[in-house]
Amino acid sequence: MKILVSDDIAQEGIDILNQEYQVDVKTKLSEDELVEIIGSYDALVVRSATKVTAKIMENSNLKVIGRAGVGVDNIDLEAATKKGILVVNAPEGNTTAASEHTIALLMALARNIPEAVRSLKNKVWDRKRFMGIELNGKTLGVVGLGRIGREVAKKAIGLGMNILAYDPYIIKQQVENIDIKVVDLDSVLKEADFITFHVPLTKSTYHMVGEKEFSMMKDGVMLINCARGGIIDEEALYEALKSGKVAGCALDVFEKEPPLESPLLDLPNLIATPHLGASTQEAQVSVAVDVAKDVIRALKG
Ligand code: NAD
């Protein structure tokens, strides 16, 4: 059995794979390069850079694809199912990292930290421009109450925030010990001071926030998307930020990454990080180890 690791994953995960099978680490391959070599591998392990397309799977003998992380939107699941290839992910390992990053963005937005830092580094001492708002007593809307959404809710409760959440698939027991109100999406949009998104990118969540949804929100609302690009319609977001309807937005993820051509980056009330939600040393070790164990389990049948 041979395993190809085509994105950078933590060495701890590679070591586990190596104990059982031959492992090749070859990163930054193009689709064509992958198509050319994939035939000799039984398993493929990726993070988020490799797009595992139908073309790559077509002539492969892959038995399993492992995704070191939670979102599997970089893998064509339909094609994998057709070919009988098992797809495994590591859903738990980056919950803490992503929820902490979300809270960091929430605070950065509320206190204008990135702009204030930039201003001071330009040798400007401007205390008036960067008057912030407090989180204590404000309402945080949480859209998607899975692992990360629930963790964010718990942390925000610790900061004195009230939580309104929307998730049509949530089971009551999963949230009964958390002091949150589960409501419909419209109520979250209308009543929240801050809204954070923690849904997967699917057909039903693609552009779930656009012009109509922005019009329902409070004037001066602040948004955070640390889930997936594409959930918020970026063109509509640009207009909402420009007009001030949305006072501030923090994005860790974009429809097209890297978003270097995006006009959003030119807006002072948009703060952004380059998809860092899962980028902690602890999370990367955790997801690499989890996915390595699952890939081995799958190869052993
Ligand atoms: P999860 O599967 O535990 O939770 C997702 C939740 O979304 C589920 O409870 C589901 O019921 C809910 N949901 C699905 N469709 C919905 C809809 N239309 N409306 C409302 N709720 C809906 O996943 P998770 O581990 O909490 O991850 C959440 C998101 O964060 C995923 O998109 C994942 O890819 C992303 N993520 C990003 C980073 C990053 O680096 N920025 C890191 C980790 C995870």
ipTM of the complex: 0.99
- Per the listing, tokens 């998809």 go with 275
- Provide the pLDDT for residue 172: 86
Task: Return the ligand 1 atom nearest residue 98 CA.
Answer: 42
Span 66-101, pLDDT tens digits: 999 999 999 999 999 999 999 999 999 999 999 999
Instruction: Band the pLDDT of 190: cuts 50, 70, 90.
Output: very high
Confirm whether 228 is a catalytic residue. yes
Q: Kindly report the CA angle at 35 between 26 and 14, in degrees rounded to 5?
A: 30
Is the separation of the CB atoms in 218 and 240 below 8 Å? no
Residue 41's Cβ-count burial label (10 Å; 0-12, 13-18, 19+) is buried
What pTM value is reported for the model?
A: 0.94
Is position 275 annotated as part of the catalytic site?
yes
Q: Looking at residue 196, what is its pLDDT?
A: 99
Sheet holding 221-225, edge to edge: 180-182, 162-166, 139-143, 194-197, 221-225, 246-251, 270-272
Q: Which tokens belong to 79? A: 């094609």
Residue 301 has a pLDDT of 87
Q: Kindly give the distance from the C-alpha atom of residue 262 to the centroid of ligand 1, in angstroms, as a whole number.
A: 24
147-188 per-position pLDDT tens digit? 999 999 999 999 999 999 999 999 888 899 999 999 999 999
Q: Using CA positions, which residue lies closest to atom 35 of ligand 1?
A: 227
Q: Is the pLDDT confidence value at 32 over 90?
A: yes
Mean pLDDT over all residues of the chain?
Answer: 97
DSSP state of 218: P
Residue 127 structure tokens: 């205390």
Q: What is the pLDDT of residue 128?
A: 94
143 Cβ below 6 A of ligand 1: yes
Structural contact between residues 143 and 197, judged by C-beta atoms closer than 8 angstroms: yes
Say whether the peptide bond before residue 258 is cis (omega within 30 degrees of 0).
yes
Residues in the chain: 301
Q: Give pairs for 267-275: CB < 8 Å, separation 24+.
A: 267/238, 267/241, 267/242, 268/115, 269/241, 269/244, 270/241, 271/105, 271/108, 271/109, 271/114, 271/115, 273/101, 273/105, 275/48
Residue 106 has pLDDT above 90, yes or no: yes
In this predicted structure, the answer to whether residue 59 has a pLDDT above a threshold of 90 is no
